[in-house]
Structure 1
Amino acid sequence: MSITTILTSLNNLEKLHRSLLRIAYDKTAVIKNGDMEGLDQLLKDEQSHLAAIIQMDGLRQRDVAQYLADQGRSASLNPTVTDLLDVVPEADNKSLEEARDRLLHAIHDLKWQNDLNQKLTYQSLQFVNLSLDIVRPRSESVNYSKTEISGQKISKEQPSFDSNA
């Protein structure tokens, strides 16, 4: 197992995260415009990207574990690139760090954009709830009356049958 395979996995992960970031940017525009059909399609695209990222990350973990095993090192349950930095030769160390930093930067940008989208969605929901509250009729009383609290109910209706007759 060579470092080149791991670098390829990291580069592919970065590309997938950048593509997911583009979807997040598109999602921001769609949320601002209120396009629900567009948002639905972007969510489907996002799900397929996430499945590809999970699969690619599994391959990366397998490759890292294999490289560590080839070097006679034990691998943790979820081996990371940081685990490799102590093992790889100096020539490969720099390229591995650069690939890791690019991927971390893409993940950071994606997290920031997703936080923004979450806030925009929350504000949209607040606006919808406010609009519904304005349109929806209010009930007369939300409090209990004095007679309901004491357990006495005074009926204003007269019975239609007089049992004393």
Structure 2
Amino acid sequence: MSVEAICSTLTMLERMHKSLLELAYKKTEIIKAGDIEALGQLLKDEQAHVAAIDKFEQQRQKQVTDYFEAKGVASTDNRTVADVIEAAEQQADKEALSAVRDRLLVIINDLRNQNDLNQKLVFQSLQIVNLTLDSLKPRTEQINYSSSEVHGTNSVAKKSYFDSQA
């Protein structure tokens, strides 16, 4: 297995992560606009990207394992691109792998930050929805008059919550 193949897979991972980052930026705008239908479609697109990234990641892991097996190095479960960079014999290979790896790490960090922002925006939206729902619910301290109270019997008024007994 060659370093070029690993580098090529990392480049594909970089492209897929960059595309996923663009979707995360779009998601931010959709969340701000409150467009639930567009958000649903975007989530489907994200799932397709994540599935493709997973395939490329599995391919990368296999290529790294094959690289070390071809060099006659005992295989361990957690071989990384950093290990390949250290084991690479040619300086050009080391530099190419380092450059692609560094770009990928920057994109992943940006994606993580954007996803954190989106998570906070969704959480705030849910808080607003819950606050609105709470303001629409009848308060328990409100006096509920039932027909038994009007006729002078001393029974406790039932709450007006939906009771779904089948």
TM-score category (smaller protein):
0.7 to 0.9
Give matches, 1:139-154, under 5 Å: 139-140=140-141
Quote the offset at 1:2 in angstroms: 1.0
Q: Percent identity?
A: 49
Q: What SS does structure 2 have at the residue aligned with 1:128?
A: helix
The 1-side partners of 2:103 and 2:74 are apart by 27
- Alignment match, 2:38: 38
The 2-side partners of 1:4 and 1:101 are apart by 16
List, as ranges, runs of 4+ consecutive aligned residues in structure 1 with deviation greater than 4 Å.
none
Q: What SS does structure 1 have at the residue aligned with 2:111?
A: helix
Quote the offset at 1:78 in angstroms: 3.2
Give matches, 1:9-158, under 5 Å: 9-89=9-89, 90-140=91-141, 156=154
Q: What SS does structure 2 have at the residue aligned with 1:86?
A: helix
Quote the offset at 1:135 in angstroms: 1.2
The 2-side partners of 1:156 and 1:61 are apart by 74
RMSD: 1.4
TM-score, structure 2 normalization: 0.83
Quote the offset at 1:86 in angstroms: 1.8
Kindly provide the CA deviation profile for residues 82-110 of structure 1, in whole angstroms up to 9, marking residues without a partner as x: 11122102221011101100010010000
Kindly provide the CA deviation profile for residues 54-100 of structure 1, in whole angstroms up to 9, marking residues without a partner as x: 11000000001101111111222132101112210222101110110
The 2-side partners of 1:116 and 1:9 are apart by 29
TM-score, structure 1 normalization: 0.84
Larger Rg: 1
The answer for unaligned runs of 5 or more in structure 1 is 142-154, 158-165
The 2-side partners of 1:3 and 1:106 are apart by 21
The answer for unaligned runs of 5 or more in structure 2 is 143-152, 156-166
Letter in 2 for 1:86: E
Letter in 2 for 1:119: K
The 2-side partners of 1:21 and 1:104 are apart by 12
- Alignment match, 2:160: none
